[in-house]
Amino acid sequence: MAILETKNLSKIYNPDTVPVHALRDVSITIDKGEFTAVRGPSGSGKTTLLNMLGGLDRPSKGAVYVDGKEITNMKDSDLIDFRLRNIGFVFQHYNLIPVFTARENVSFIMLLQNRSKEEIRKRADSLLEQVGLGSKKDSRPVQMSGGEQQRVAVARALASEPMFILADEPTANLDTAAAMNLLDIMEKMNRDQNVTFVFSTHDQRVIDRARRVITMVDGAIHKDEEKVSP
């Protein structure tokens, strides 16, 4: 079942001055439960593609459908609300709220969803335990390592129960051990809870663990390989 679909997606930056074709006619389909990596050389359009999938930016041409619903023609305010309810984000720079503790960072998004206090508390605690941070719930981002912060970010992305999680180079700032640990956690969530992940990466170690690898070159899809699970 396709939860994410793009049709002839194109993005041209600076169309009036120095046009940059960041995406050219990209049509892909992502199904529920995928664990997919987008790879490609620098400047090939990975970030641009993920931004389009997450409704953070608008394409020059083409459309993005989430669960069959077109998001590319939504009003800005509706799109923000749509992101809140359906899409999880993990950023390269972790981007936690520095004034909040780990628990508050995870709770915050659920607070925006108007969930009950009780539910928020339970869910935040259980998510932080899932990412192995049960003992760091009350730590602030500055008191945590990059790997720990990124794990909080994954817990935050999952907290809103999104349809899928988009992660742009989630391991780029992490050392090997932290990167592998993060991958373990993401893989486990994918396996146990059928959480869909789409992440971009340069990192061969990460690519090796993806089940589907989309290779981009120059804004277009160059290769799309599905690995047969062992």
Partner 1 sequence: MTISWRNIWRHPGRSGVLLASIIAGLWAGVMIIGLMNGMFLQRMDYLIDSEITHAQVHHPEFLTEGYSRLYIPNHEEIDEWLRDDTRVRSHTLRTITDGMLQSPVKTSGTRIRGVDPERERETTTFHENIIDGEYLDSSIRNPVLVGKRLADTHNLELGDRVVLTFEDVNNELTSAAFNIAGIFESASPQYDDANVFVRSEDMIRLIADRPIFHEIAMMLHNEDDAEAVTAGLNERFSGIEAQTWYELSPEIRMMVEFGGAMLFIITMIIMLALAFGILNTMLMALFERMREIGVLLSIGMSRIRIFLMIMLEATILTLTGALAGIGLAWLSIRKLSESGINLEMFATGLAEIGWDHMIYPFVEGSEFVTIVILVITITILATLYPAVKAMRINPLEAARDT
Ligand X SMILES: Nc1ncnc2c1ncn2[C@@H]1O[C@H](COP(=O)(O)OP(=O)(O)OP(=O)(O)O)[C@@H](O)[C@H]1O
Cα–Cα distance between 9 and 29 in angstroms, integer?
12
**Interacting partner of 99 out of partner 1, Mg ion, ligand X, none (Cβ under 5 to 8 A depending on kind):** partner 1
Nearest residue (CB) to Mg ion, 130 versus 201: 201
Q: Shortest approach of partner 1 to residue 102 CB, angstroms?
A: 14
User: Residue 75: phi, psi to the nearest 5?
Assistant: -65, 150
Q: Can you give the three-state secondary structure of 102-138, one letter per residue?
A: HHHHHHHHHHHCCCCHHHHHHHHHHHHHHCCCCCCCC
Told to check if 201 binds Mg ion by CB under 5 A, we report: no
- Give the residues lining the site for ligand X (CB under 6 A): 13-14, 20, 22, 40, 42-48
Told to check if 168 binds partner 1 by CB under 8 A, we report: yes
Q: Shortest approach of partner 1 to residue 104 CB, angstroms?
A: 8
- Select from 188, 192, 2, 199 the least CA-distant residue to 88: 199
Nearest residue (CB) to ligand X, 11 versus 103: 11
Q: Site residues for partner 1, window 24-53 (CB under 8 A)? A: 47, 51
Q: Is 172 exposed, middle or buried (0-12, 13-18, 19+ CB in 10 A)?
A: middle
Q: Shortest approach of partner 1 to residue 166 CB, angstroms?
A: 10
Told to check if 104 binds partner 1 by CB under 8 A, we report: yes
Q: Tell me how far CA of residue 42 lies from CA of 46, 52, 120, in angstroms.
A: 8, 18, 39
**Interacting partner of 89 out of Mg ion, ligand X, partner 1, none (Cβ under 5 to 8 A depending on kind):** partner 1
Cα–Cα distance between 207 and 107 in angstroms, integer?
31
**Interacting partner of 197 out of ligand X, Mg ion, partner 1, none (Cβ under 5 to 8 A depending on kind):** none
